[in-house]
A and B are shown apart, each in its own frame.
Chain A
């Protein structure tokens, strides 16, 4: 997932986050990111800040993630907290990101529609139904 040059990007500790021109928010995990609750909250605030007048889908590129703590996973499962996203898709590829993605979906059960994908195109097609 390419980071754009024509819009504002939140350059966070473990993520680059921005709103796509198609109305789908993006967040890309930085290489070798070790996500704890701190970085997870930082990203949640940035994502919620993208809200203008309606909830939106979110595309997460987790292909280069190194690890994510339980507290961070719990936060991303959007239980007991308000959010401006109505769905999210996670792109995974390496064995490590596949394991993390599948564990997250299985153990943390997100409260909005969420799905794992191997490529960006399929993820965007799926997310467009939530625009």
Chain B
């Protein structure tokens, strides 16, 4: 074998070693480095470049993981703090008999819980930024129902939301509050016989979402005017939808149906 053939073989091996290291970096395994010879040639230059890129990539990956951990911790703490506020509100009701006051506290607690639930679900996600709307809605329905539930109450929830709808936290905070107000209003006012159905569905056309929340309760009173007769909850529904650049349409006959486009 001639000298040039030996050198070609040697360079081939060096090239393969460098490739192996690049592959391990692609797998985010930074335990390997290319070996730099004393030749200072192109293979050494490429190897040194790969080593330096690996070091920078490792540093970025570590930094990203630390930030993710921090963000997860923040969501956890926000959720805990919101739950503490909710518990404090609950404690305030101790020995209080005033039904209006108690109702106000329940409404406030539910609003806080609708936000706390978002943070609770966020820190359990992998991307820490989006929430599966279907899971959130189902959990929220259970939570609100528990807060208004009376022994004789029998309300069924039907949630028809595609499993592939994931929304960002900013949208979710608004939507969570909107859902909370609509469901709370239904549970408070719709079912005189304490029986009924609440259906929630979502469809999507392009970038637009259409949320429908309906109950089969007694509907809105005849001559109902939102600006005059609507409670804080209804005002919130309109205000929050507006902030989502959306629109609300309410039908009040044969139950109440909200159509929200955002």
Residues of A within 8 A of B (CB): 32, 64, 66-67, 69-70, 73, 94-100, 103, 107
B16 interface residue, CB < 8 Å from A?
no
Give the contacting residue for B48; candidates A64, A70, A99, A107; CB below 8 A.
A99
Q: Are A67 and B56 in contact (CB under 8 A)?
A: no
Are A67 and B45 within 8 A (Cβ)? Answer: no
Sampled A-B contacts (9; CB under 8 Å) = A32-B38, A64-B40, A66-B40, A67-B48, A70-B55, A70-B56, A73-B52, A94-B40, A99-B52
Does B138 interact with chain A (Cβ within 8 Å)? Answer: no
Q: Cβ of B3 < 8 Å from any Cβ of A?
A: no
Asked whether, in the complex, the Cβ of A70 is within 8 Å of the Cβ of B59, the reply is: yes
B120 beta carbon closer than 8 Å to chain A: no
Chain B residues near A (Cβ < 8 Å): 36, 38, 40-42, 44-46, 48-49, 51-53, 55-56, 59
Chain A interface, DSSP helix/strand/loop, else mixed: helix
User: How far in angstroms is the closest Cβ of chain B from A119?
Assistant: 17
B40 cross-chain contacts in A, Cβ below 8 A? 64, 66, 94-97
Which residue of chain A is the closest to B34 with respect to CB atoms?
Answer: A67
CB A69 to nearest CB in B, in angstroms, measures 7
- Residue from A32, A70, A103 in contact with B49 in the complex, judged by beta carbons closer than 8 Å: A103
Measured between beta carbons, the chain A residues less than 8 angstroms from B44 are: 66, 95-96
B55 touches A96 (CB 8 A): no
**Which listed residue (A32, A73, A95, A107) contacts B45, Cβ 8 A?**
A95
What 8 pairs across the A-B complex have the smallest Cβ distances?
A95-B45, A70-B55, A99-B45, A94-B40, A96-B40, A103-B52, A96-B45, A96-B44
Nearest-neighbor residue (CB-CB) of A74 within chain B: B59
CB distance from A96 to the nearest CB of B (A): 4
Minimum CB–CB distance for B56 against chain A, Å: 6
